[in-house]
Structure 1
Amino acid sequence: MAGVHGLGWFGIVRLGMVQAAIGAMVMLATSLLNRVMVVEYGVAAAVPAALVAWHYAVQLTRPLWGHTSDRSHSRTPWIVGGLGMLALGTLLAVDATVMMASPGIMAALVAITGFTLIGFGVGMSGTALLALLASRTSVTRKPAAAAICWTMMVAGIVIAAAVSGANLDPFSEARLAIVASFVVLGAFALAMLALRNVERNTPPVEQPKPDGRALGFAEALRQIWHEPEARRFTFFVFLSMLAYSMQDLILEPFAGFLFAMTPGESTQLASVQHGGVLAGMLLAGLGGSLYARRFGRDMRLWIVAGCLGSAAMLGGLAMAATQGHGWPLRANVFGLGVANGIFAVAAVGAMLGLASKGAGAGEGARMGVWGAAQAVAFGLGGLAGAVLVDQLRAFMASDGAAFQAVFATEALLFLAAALVATGTTLVRAPEPEGLTA
């Protein structure tokens, strides 16, 4: 697995398993517990929404975790420590959910503590993991590495959701605790097995920067922000992820209000979108690595194509808001997923490459800055999309016009992100190497 080319494909898949474990545990807190609080215990929907937003806010600490891992001799302890915090926070969040059957100050304190640990855990483990992947993966394999890790993260979410859903009925507090504990324990154990000796047996592709460990945290952040490429890429990450997340909470209500879809049908529509995302991820990952000789050498092509495709598909949804039942909604949503997957994987592949390009500050600090921008965008995007739809529906007295305005806003954000990306010198890879381990 080791060698001058860094991680082999099996090593990349092993790190992808760690990403899958992170996704599985986060799914419990942000999806399953959200539903249980609102439906089974009658908690106001704003409560779990605020807790999820708080876990994103806590991830503003990502640059600190990344910089700290840069200054240490090994990133593995930071990944393990973050996974431990994530596991503990998830179990505390389960306890808090059960306590909400009789809400009080203690339930609120346990919930805030749990989601705080989840945010810290995701920030610490995720940032150190991406920094390890960036420093141990050759340039030609980074697009495929991004696709593998993000595809496996989605797979982790899907598997955890399927296991939880299949074993929660008939619902009881004891069953919830057992199922959640099983998912958390399984995910943590899988991550520990996947991590074993990966870092120790694989030398960095590039030598560490001579002054990277000597820089203080504030100085590292100033240095990153003073680099035009790093600063511009941070703007791109924020804009694109803001656009990406704005439709998270409104797509299913859109299908229900304007296409009269049942809850089951709208859930199937969401699965169509996720299927498109996976297809787009695989297309961008394979294209970036296998066809680097012509098109994949500059990641901007894939990023801009994904952003423009996303804008076009959102424009289609804006038209669907006025056309109604005659519009090919499933095809439109699948196309949106494909475009989202292309831009997301291409952006992460470029991120892995840019993390190793700058002088001074290490991969961890850079990944932390971009991870923080992504977390803020995700927190704001979902909330902004839902609030805008609610306010516009009341102001315009028209469901179609309200959703049309929000989808059009998302499309404009994607166009702005594409414009920012065109001015950024992203990863340009050498000739591609074969798919050998």
Structure 2
Amino acid sequence: MSTARSSGMGWIDILRCGLVQTALGAIVVLTTSTYNRVMVVELALPAMVPGALVALHYAIQLSRPRWGYGSDMGARRTNWIIGGVAVLGIGAVLAAIATGWMQTAATAGMVLAVFSFVLIGAGVGAAGTSLLALLATQVDPARRAAAATITWLMMILGIAVTATIAGKMLDPFSPERLIAVAASIAGIALLVTLLATWRLERSNSFPADQSEPSQKPPFRQVFAEVWAEPEARRFSIFVFVSMLAYNTQDLILEPFAGLVFGMTPGESTQLTGVQHGGVFLGMILVALAGSSPLRRWIGSLKGWTVWGCIGSGVMMASLSLAGIVGPEFPLQITVFLLGLANGAFAVAAIGSMMKLAGYGRPGREGIRMGVWGAAQALAFGIGGFMGTILVDITQAVFRDPALAYGSVFAFEGVLFLISAILAARIDSPDRPAQRFMAAPAE
């Protein structure tokens, strides 16, 4: 078992970590939503331009293991968190400048946009990975499910609040206004991060063997050690498959509602809101169950993960029949239950991730979080694009939107059931740490 001592991070400290997630969400929503809309609508660029830039920022996050290694080997994780948010903010402001520049100098603007999204991916990877590693090492096991829920809900809050405020501040639109809004949000986010992390990290966060620089092993060696741990490797595969299933429906649910059920844009947007409401409730249920004195009878994080994946698979299978059943199908109820299962498995998986990060050889929490974060980024980068491609292919084959979307939803259901099997095969973090190791450390 890891020899790093837990500081027993309290609820106020967990909320402070959540504020960092709020800051991350506030900046990221500019890059994935606001700039996307401006490029497509105001600049009349092909949708593939912002799509490729967002995919690039996910590709850069494959470097998360390297950022996690840096936070493991460094003196403090909060330095990596602050630095990551600063780089993310700089990237967001440069991306706003690049977006405006595309109106007059398309090539130069595109070059700057590519550089900006590289910074955005690096900033998210460094800050997000280090924050999760900090939570994994300093939050008591009984509080980890609640901590995972709190930090993720606060990130969603940051996304929602920023999208609303930025939307109002951008009217009437101008490139100068876009840059001013981006700079303001990035500055506020960095200030919030600085205040939230002030004296947050305890001096006993790191194992004693990390004190001497000469003792620091090279990245490749540490990465190989972590990948050799059977549970770390199994959990990486689970994260990739489950997040692939989770994200594949992201860009096709609303078009499905419009094409198959004749919903207006407003109605399909409300349907997405119903799904997110289910996600929110699912996360809350797991948090309450994980922090309850009855948690031994209510269910473990592993159990919530497995059953959440099964529930998601069943709901996706139901959606695959929606177009065949027709208008009588309970679409809103099904989408709500899908969100409920999604939220339960997602936050339970994050809680399990925080537990598993501390098992195995000490001083490797950051790089384990990095490996799992890279698996998630890869799945997110592939998922949305894959869903749209599969719909195009199946529509060309079946010539029927109901069958086309239904077959893709059925495929997602299979992925969720595979995820449940993978989750069930992962050893519980409550078992002795030696079970997690590939071999005894020399």
Q: Taking structure 2 as the reference length, what is the TM-score of the superposition?
A: 0.92
Mapping 1:210-359, distance limit 5 Å: 210=209, 214-291=216-293, 293-295=295-297, 298-359=300-361
Partner Cα separation in structure 2 for residue 394 and residue 72 of structure 1: 53
| Cα displacement string for residues 100-125 of structure 1 (whole angstroms, at most 9, x for unaligned residues) | 22452101111101100000000001
**Who is 1:125 aligned against?**
127
Q: 1:14 to 1:246 in 2, by over 3 A?
A: same
Match of 1:408 in 2: 410
CA contact (8 A) 1:297 1:428 kept: no
Residue range with higher mean Cα deviation, 352-361 or 153-162: 352-361
Q: String of CA shifts for 1:30-65, please: whole Å, max 9, x gaps.
A: 011111111111110011111101100000110001
Correspondence 1:53-92 to 2 at 5 A: 53-92=55-94
Q: Tell me the distance in 2 between the aligned counterparts of 1:370 and 1:279.
A: 25
Cα distance change, pair 297–333 in 1 and its aligned pair in 2 (3 A) = closer
Distance 1:190 1:264 in 2: 34
**Aligned counterpart, 1:434:** none
Q: What residue is the counterpart of 1:435 in the other structure?
A: none
Q: Residue deviations 1:304-362, cap 9 Å, x none?
A: 11101111111121111222322221211111111111011000000000000111551
1:259: Cα distance to partner?
1.4
Instruction: Indicate the residue corresponding to 1:158 in structure 2.
Output: 160
**How much does 1:166 deviate?**
2.2
CA offset digits 1:71-101 (Å, max 9, x no partner) = 1111111111110110010111111111222
Compared CA separation, residues 209 and 394, structure 1 to 2 (3 A): farther
> For the Cα contact (< 8 Å) 1:295–1:301, is it kept in 2?
no
Q: 1:363 to 1:292 in 2, by over 3 A?
A: farther
Once structures 1 and 2 are overlaid, which stretch shifts more, 413-422 or 220-229? 220-229
Q: Distance in 2 between matches of 1:231 and 1:292?
A: 31
The 8 Å contact of residues 289 and 296 in structure 1, kept in 2 or not, is answered as no
2:391 match: 389
- Asked if the contact 1:298/1:427 (under 8 Å) is kept, the reply is no
Residue in 1 aligned with 2:9? 7
Mapped partners of 1:261, 1:351: distance in 2: 38
C-alpha deviation, 1:184, in angstroms: 1.8
SS in 2 for 1:198: coil
CA distance in 1, matches of 2:168, 2:210: 52
Query: For residues 131-142 of structure 1, what are the structure 2 equivalents within 5 Å?
Result: 131-142=133-144
Q: Percent identity?
A: 49
Provide the C-alpha distance between the structure 1 equivalents of 2:173 and 2:428, rounded to a whole number of angstroms: 49
What is the distance in 1 between the residues matched to 2:113 and 2:245? Answer: 29
Q: CA deviation at 1:176?
A: 2.0
Read off the aligned partner of 2:30 and give its amino acid letter: L
Q: How does 1:106-125 map to 2 (within 5 A)?
A: 106-125=108-127
User: Deviating runs (4+, > 6 A) in structure 1?
Assistant: none
CA RMSD of superposed structures (Å): 1.9
Q: Which moved more, 1:241-250 or 1:100-109?
A: 100-109
User: How far, CA to CA, are the matches of 2:208 and 2:315 in structure 1?
Assistant: 42
- Does the CA-based 8 Å contact 1:215-1:361 persist in structure 2? no
- CA separation of 1:210 and 1:295: change in aligned 2, threshold 3 A: farther
Q: Any conservation in 1 of the 2:309–2:342 contact (CA below 8 Å)?
A: yes
8 Å contact 2:17–2:151 — kept in the other structure?
yes
State the Cα distance separating 1:186 from its structure 2 match.
Answer: 1.8
Q: CA deviation at 1:296?
A: 5.6
Q: Distance in 2 between matches of 1:288 and 1:211?
A: 32
Do the aligned partners of 2:86 and 2:123 also contact (CA within 8 Å) in 1?
yes
Is residue 427 of structure 2 the alignment partner of residue 425 of structure 1? Answer: yes
Between 104-113 and 116-125, the greater mean CA deviation after superposition: 104-113
Other-structure match for 1:188: 190
Matching residue's letter, 2:217: L
Q: 1:339 and 1:97 mapped to 2: Cα distance? A: 38
Aligned partner letter, 2:121: G
Match of 1:208 in 2: 207
CA deviation profile, 1:128-151 (whole Å, cap 9, x unmatched): 111111111111111111011111
**Counterparts in 2 of 1:280 and 1:77: CA distance versus 1, 3 Å:** same
Any idea what SS the aligned residue of 2:321 has? helix
Cα gap change, 1:169/1:228 in structure 2, threshold over 3 Å: closer, same or farther?
Answer: same
Residues 6 and 138 of structure 2 are in contact (CA less than 8 Å); yes or no, is this contact kept in structure 1?
Answer: no
Cα distance change, pair 9–67 in 1 and its aligned pair in 2 (3 A): same
Partner SS, residue 358 of structure 2: coil
* Structure 2 portions without partners, runs of 5+: 433-442
Q: Work out whether residues 100 and 176 of structure 2, in 8 Å CA contact, stay in contact via their aligned partners in 1.
A: no
Contact 1:18 1:190 survives alignment (8 Å):
yes
Distance 1:42 1:116 in 2: 23
Q: Is the 2:302–2:423 contact (alpha carbons within 8 Å) kept by the matching residues of 1?
A: yes
CA distance in 2, matches of 1:77, 1:297: 36
Cα distance in structure 2, aligned partners of 1:334 and 1:340: 10
Please say if residues 243 and 411 of structure 1, whose CA atoms lie closer than 8 Å, have aligned partners that are also in contact.
yes
Normalised by the size of structure 1, how large is the TM-score?
0.93
